Amino acid sequence: MNSQSTPSTCAIRTLPERLLIFAAILMTGLATMTTNCADPDLWGHVQYGREVLHDGVLPRTATWTYAAEGAAWVNHENIAEFLLAWTVDAWGSQGLPWMKLSIAAMLLTLMIVSAGKSGAGWLATGIFVTLVAACIQFHWHFRPQILTYLSLAAMLAVWQFVFGEIRLDNETSAEETISFTNRRVNWLWVMPLLMCFWANSHGGFAAGVAIMCAYHGLICLQLVWQTGLKHSRLLIVISVVTVSSVLATLVNPYGIGLWEFMLAALKLPRPEIADWSPLPLFNSEAIRFWGLLTAVVISLSVQRSRLQSAQVVVLGLLLWQGLSHCRHFSIFAIVCGFWIPRHLQAAVDAFRSTMGRLQPDRVTGGNGSMVTLITSGLILLCSQKLSPLLCEVPVERNEYPVSAMQYLQDKNLHGKVLVTFNWAQYAIGCFAAGDESMRQSRVAVDGRFETCYPREITDICFDFWFGTSDPAQRYRSPQAPPFDPSRALEFKNPDLVLLSRSQGPSLRMMQQHTNDWVLLYQDSIAQIWGRGSKYANSSSPYFLPAAERRVTEMPQIGTVPWPAFPAYESPSERFTSREISPLHANAF
């Protein structure tokens, strides 16, 4: 049974034509959403994953930090980090773009197939796949969150298969469609397995649980409202699957501790993190939002095209979250990509009918060759756009301190390093790839943020980097010490400071402490300062003469292939697991 099928879904008569159009839609989506740039956290994700795969233990406390040594680490991204590390080990850095492309292809394939099963024609499907891909693009990086997007797509595909035909607008439509849903409801037992995978891949599983509970709960409420308890088996299966799926998220290395961490973290405001800021609505990036919203409004404008009540509520909540926090807009877009295409098809059909035209998507013998020509050309164009993005991951010299890290290596400068937040995981990767002395280096804090760093410690560093305690710009913990931008220079006695020259407050703070710190290196984007008692004291074994200091305005231009590590004298493989030390030995 397929109550939403229309002639448009059957218009492409031959298998080759269907495959060509499927490939064209898929390639268009891939070309739209694929980017290839180094993410600030990529080095850390690969390093942390590789360490666990190599050592066979999962750290219980923070690693590679001097400021939070011994702090508990709740890593909710283990599977994603294993995948990233395995990809680099097995295929090298060039495997990373292909891994990300494969995940994108799986997500879009689920969307295209679900749209077709719901009754959407190829035009409506293509429009929504392209719009959704454009909305996802600005968050489609080498990060664990891409597994959240894939997991969400898998959940929506299961729902389309099970609930795609159910209509609960009135008792008559409910009775007509529930029997079909009953025959497929056992497929919901995929959900606990999916939730277990999701909970060990990325913190976005919390959003997945919320969406699942809302949708299942609303389906059950509407079912009871229209038919009472007549279909108790269906109600029981949905309820038990929901509870089982929530419990499945407890199958993780931290048990209930993962949820305790997630709930505590979700309560904290994050004005200093761009991903948690409201979605901009009036800049060039907002075009994709308005395009998607326009398509949704047009799709739902046809009176006979109605969303399930549960879908209306869920979409409304997701739109609110997407507007409140831009990182959630991708979730709203993906859900639209599964639930709205059939409604756009209804709008297209209504428009064509009104204009007195032929039914859409019908391919006759006379225009089959035109379809082949257009789709083949589109596939070729998309392939040309994708091919240069699948060779290597470029690291921009004007974004990352490639030359500064080379200087640290050349001069054997190591120890406790206060590193600009967005560069800290790059620094960790470089330290791990270095010689024995470099592998002893540690950063203050990095992108793991609340997963292992107490907020009062990150506040000390953010005081230094931001130079303000303005609540509009950042959140400070009530447990944090009084605001003092200079405190980070003495907290746990760092040896070196690597900072971005774009961070004016920290630059000014260093200029105010030239009695205690000496500038060792400078280029157009970075500075390295050393503690004066070590590097400016001629009696110190670490003394660095003025002639060996490099203070220039050398522009940092061009790119280097990821991982962009310093050149080492030893040609041996450097990106390796840390050696187990007492700091790291306390593991599961």
Nearest of 273, 22, 213, 234 to residue 125 by alpha carbon: 22
The pLDDT assigned to 273 comes to: 81
Tell me the three state secondary structure of residue 418.
strand
| Sole residue written with tokens 């800049």 | 283
CA distance 521 to 530: 9
If residue 90 lies in a helix (H) or strand (E), which one and from where to where? helix 78-91
Tell me the three state secondary structure of residue 437.
coil
Q: Are strands 517-522 and 496-500 parallel, antiparallel or unpaired?
A: unpaired
CA distances from 568 to 406, 411, 430, 574 (A): 9, 12, 11, 9
What's the chain's Rg over C-alpha atoms?
27
Q: What is the dihedral of CA 410, 412, 415, 418, to 10 degrees?
A: -20
Sign of the Cα pseudo-torsion (322, 163, 113, 153, in order): positive
* Dihedrals phi, psi of 571, to nearest 5 degrees: -85, 0
| Sole residue written with tokens 């200079």 | 486
Is 90 exceeded by the pLDDT of residue 102? yes
Is 70 exceeded by the pLDDT of residue 517? yes
The pLDDT assigned to 174 comes to: 60
| Sole residue written with tokens 């038919």 | 227
CA distances from 41 to 261, 263, 434, 488, 543 (A): 20, 23, 19, 22, 33
Name which of 189-203, 236-250, 356-370, 461-475 the model is least confident about: 356-370
Judge whether 439 and 522 are in contact, CB under 8 Å.
no
The pLDDT assigned to 167 comes to: 67
pLDDT digit string, tens, across residues 405-452: 999 999 999 999 999 999 999 999 999 999 999 999 999 999 999 999
Question: Tokens for 367?
Answer: 């225009």
CA distances from 188 to 158, 194, 240 (A): 7, 10, 10
Question: Tokens for 132?
Answer: 């959704």
Q: What is the largest CA-CA distance in the chain?
A: 92
CA distance 150 to 107: 5
CA distance 328 to 336: 13
Sign of the Cα pseudo-torsion (522, 527, 532, 535, in order): negative
CA distance 44 to 434: 15
The pLDDT confidence band at residue 206, using thresholds 50, 70 and 90, is very high
- 394-412 burial code (b ≥16 CB/10 A, e <16): bbbbebbbbbbbbbbbebe
The pLDDT assigned to 367 comes to: 64
Count of CB atoms situated within 10 Å of the CB of 355: 8
Tell me the three state secondary structure of residue 455.
helix
Name which of 198-212, 438-452, 466-480 the model is least confident about: 466-480
Judge whether 439 and 432 are in contact, CB under 8 Å.
yes
Question: Tokens for 257?
Answer: 């501790």
Judge whether 486 and 464 are in contact, CB under 8 Å.
yes
Is 80 exceeded by the pLDDT of residue 581? no
* Dihedrals phi, psi of 484, to nearest 5 degrees: -155, 100
The pLDDT assigned to 284 comes to: 82
Each domain of the chain, given as residue ranges in start order, spans 7-24+92-387, 397-561
Contacts of residue 157, defined as CB under 8 A and 6 or more positions apart, other chains included, come to 110, 113, 114, 338
Tell me the three state secondary structure of residue 574.
coil
Q: Tell me, what DSSP letter sits at residue 395? A: E
Distance in Å from the first CA to the final CA of the chain: 51
At CA 305, angle to CA 210 and CA 120, rounded to 5?
85
The pLDDT assigned to 346 comes to: 86
CA distance 60 to 73: 5
Mean pLDDT value of segment 98-105: 98
On average, the pLDDT of the chain sits at 89
CA distance 278 to 188: 34
The pLDDT assigned to 5 comes to: 43
Contacts of residue 540, defined as CB under 8 A and 6 or more positions apart, other chains included, come to 533, 534
CA distances from 113 to 57, 150, 195, 583 (A): 40, 14, 22, 49
Mean pLDDT value of segment 121-127: 94
Cis-peptide into 563, omega within 30 deg: yes
Specify the amino acid at residue 454: P
CA distances from 212 to 209, 433, 529 (A): 5, 42, 50
CA distance 17 to 11: 10
Name which of 263-267, 500-504, 512-516, 529-533 the model is least confident about: 263-267
Tell me the three state secondary structure of residue 357.
coil
How far from the centroid of its chain's Cα atoms is residue 335's Cα?
A: 16
The pLDDT assigned to 2 comes to: 46
Total number of residues shown for the chain = 588
Q: Are strands 550-551 and 496-500 parallel, antiparallel or unpaired?
A: unpaired
Question: Tokens for 237?
Answer: 């299966």
CA distance 434 to 496: 17
The pLDDT assigned to 225 comes to: 83
Is 90 exceeded by the pLDDT of residue 371? no
Is 60 exceeded by the pLDDT of residue 90? yes
Percentage of residues of the chain with pLDDT beyond 70: 89
Mean pLDDT value of segment 295-324: 86
Judge whether 279 and 322 are in contact, CB under 8 Å.
yes
Is 60 exceeded by the pLDDT of residue 250? yes
Top-confidence residue, 586 or 321: 321
Mean pLDDT value of segment 280-291: 91
pLDDT digit string, tens, across residues 476-499: 999 999 999 999 999 999 999 999
Nearest of 35, 33, 34, 37 to residue 398 by alpha carbon: 37
